[in-house]
Structure 1
Amino acid sequence: MLVAVLATALLVGCSPRSEPAPEVDVTGGAGEEPSLEYTPPLTISEATSEVLWEGTGPELEDSGPVLLDYRLQRADDGSLVEETYSTVPKPFTLTPEVLSADLHEALDGRTVGSRLLLLLPATSDTSSFASVMVVDVRPTRAWGEPVEPREGLPAVTLAEDGEPLIETPQGDPPRSLVVQALLRGDGDQVVEGSTVTVQYTGVRWSDGSMYDSSWVQGGPESFDLGSGVLPGLAEGLLEQTVGSQVMLVIPPESGGAVGGEEDTLVLVVDILATSAPAPDALTEEG
């Protein structure tokens, strides 16, 4: 749905302002959901963007992964079209084809942690309404404090972009699930029934070969814990905090079977975001 909304609301490239832009006040600090205050209907004749604050993280790379929180409202009546703050941020690839020309241009050269305001006109080939949009650029890698891992686990080094490189495991694999924090984040705690957004790399204990990686596939992924997820993965992420990087060693008994083969799996997971359980999940548990 996200791509559809952006495709219909964002297509015309953002341009320098040739006339004063409508007044829009954005409140809410870093990490908080923004509130947009304006007097509708707003008349927006051209697409514009403004950096409300510049983030202190790394600069975004064209064609690379980008993780966004956003709030999109109609300019004519102030009604909400879509927002991500009550769930989890959405991952994209930083290209105009995926993000639209407007959003790609606005994000070009920006850094992680930035907040932007976009004013977008209605056009005959995109949307029937003008819109106001606030976008927060979220990290695509863990940012917590280092934790000394226990002995006997594979060593992990990080590439420049944060991708974990897992050394080939040695010796006999553990017989039960191992959960080892490598970086300890300061964000919200993952609870049962949460939706999480992560980056991950997984290798086989037997030979160190990779079996899956979001870094190779193009960026962060979101999923509901317990919904078709490896039992060891769901169990291992519980009570971990956003911003953490966690190593999970998952034996076959905890779901470490891949494609019919049984092997102990080693996952390194960066926890980027988490949401509260859906109300219906809470009702079922209660």
Structure 2
Amino acid sequence: MRRVVVACLAATMLLLTGCVSTQPDPPDVVVSGDTGQAPTVTYRTPLSVSETVDEEIWPGTGDELVEGQPVLIDFWLEDATDATLVKESYTSSPTPRLLTAEALGKDLYDLLLGQHVGARLLQISPAPGSGAANYPTVTVIDVLNTRADGEPLPPREGLPVVTLDENGAPSITASADAPPSELVTQPLLRGTGQQVAEGDTVTVQYSGFSWSTGESFDSTWVSGGMPVFFPLDRVPAWSALVEQPVGSQVMLVVPPSYSLGATDSEELAGQTIVFVIDILATGPTSASADSDLTGTED
């Protein structure tokens, strides 16, 4: 009886081994490069892949990505038939999206869900791939923060007190002091990323408040915390962000003598304005555009 059992087990193992051996090996794709920099991707072309393959190049250590919440990503997308670059966001602005299958497509949604800020991920997809691509693709994704993550700095006396909720959205307690007559730039959190340069396009979260009442008149946080990006010259007073590093949270106190550019309005005329700004990314304005990973054909 024992011989029969051993024989059956051996036969089962042979069958299982046979099944495993029929599975194709995943494509050999090597991703190199440092965090915060565009990746270098190496593989033999044309790349043959029959099903979507996901790989974690390195894990993130920040907040977990949650269904329905905003995500901010840099990406590098190649046509795997000849390794030509199709689109990338490293020289423009990162892409903000909601973490839903509808907004990202199922493959990218499945790749990102449950990952953490700071992760670098690889996705290899067969034709037709995601979006409008009709060729196999190799995509590298860097998950960026949607809120400032710098080191806290001591608050300055006489300025409004900033309080953050659990998601990072700010509110202020209005100062009883007279408002300053000159523009004030006060870092609240000091990041360690790339510094904002003159003429850059910045990716930010921000809220604007009245100095006298502390009431908010505009905020990215009220629409679900979706980051936005725009050239600094759209709001001239924001030129004070130059040399501030990515990852910082900065308070700008803007007297009424300074132009708010696109945000000028009769409602704000004559008021001192307080902006609390989370700097998430920065880059040259000439290169910035709404890079869309989900639709790869121009």
The bucket for the TM-score relative to the shorter chain is 0.7 to 0.9
Kept in 2, the 8 Å contact 1:47–1:121? The answer is: yes
How many pairs are equivalent? 259
Kept in 1, the 8 Å contact 2:92–2:285? The answer is: no
1:268 aligns with 2:276: yes
Q: Could you tell me which amino acid in structure 2 is paired with residue 267 of structure 1?
A: F
Q: 2:149 aligns with which of 131, 139, 143?
A: 143
Counterpart in the other structure of 2:37: 32
Q: 1:87 aligns with which of 88, 92, 110?
A: 92
Kept in 2, the 8 Å contact 1:73–1:133? The answer is: yes
Counterpart in the other structure of 2:78: 73
Q: Distance in 2 between matches of 1:277 and 1:141?
A: 21
Aligned partner of residue 257 in structure 2, secondary structure? helix
Give the 5 Å matches for 1:1-286.
19-123=24-128, 126-218=132-224, 219-226=226-233, 228-229=234-235, 231-233=236-238, 235-256=239-260, 258-261=264-267, 262=269, 263-276=271-284, 278=286
Cα distance change, pair 175–137 in 1 and its aligned pair in 2 (3 A): same
The more displaced of 21-30 and 159-168 is: 159-168
Q: Could you tell me which amino acid in structure 1 is paired with residue 250 of structure 2?
A: V
1:220-260 deviation per Cα after TM superposition (whole angstroms, max 9, x unaligned): 1111111x22x212x22112111111000111211257431
Question: TM-score, with normalisation over the residues of structure 2?
Answer: 0.82
Cα distance change, pair 87–126 in 1 and its aligned pair in 2 (3 A): closer
Q: Could you tell me which amino acid in structure 1 is paired with residue 283 of structure 2?
A: S
Kept in 1, the 8 Å contact 2:190–2:249? The answer is: yes
Q: Distance in 2 between matches of 1:123 and 1:238?
A: 43
Q: Pairwise CA RMSD of aligned residues?
A: 1.8
CA drift at 1:144:
1.4
CA drift at 1:123:
2.8
Q: Distance in 2 between matches of 1:258 and 1:151?
A: 28
Q: Could you tell me which amino acid in structure 2 is paired with residue 28 of structure 1?
A: G
1:198-221 deviation per Cα after TM superposition (whole angstroms, max 9, x unaligned): 111111123222111111223111
Aligned partner of residue 252 in structure 1, secondary structure? coil
Q: Distance in 2 between matches of 1:20 and 1:161?
A: 42
1:247-282 deviation per Cα after TM superposition (whole angstroms, max 9, x unaligned): 001112112574312121111101111114548xxx
Q: Tell me which structure has the larger Cα radius of gyration.
A: 2
Counterpart in the other structure of 1:14: none
Structure 2 gaps of 5+ residues are: 1-22, 288-298
The more displaced of 51-60 and 158-167 is: 158-167
1:55-88 deviation per Cα after TM superposition (whole angstroms, max 9, x unaligned): 1101012111111011000011110000111222
Q: Distance in 1 between matches of 2:132 and 2:274?
A: 45
The more displaced of 168-177 and 134-143 is: 168-177
Paired-residue identity, %: 48
CA drift at 1:33:
1.4
Counterpart in the other structure of 1:9: none
CA drift at 1:126:
4.3
Counterpart in the other structure of 1:6: none
Kept in 2, the 8 Å contact 1:192–1:277? The answer is: no
Any runs of at least 4 consecutive aligned residues in structure 1 with deviations exceeding 6 A, and if so which?
none
Question: TM-score, with normalisation over the residues of structure 1?
Answer: 0.85
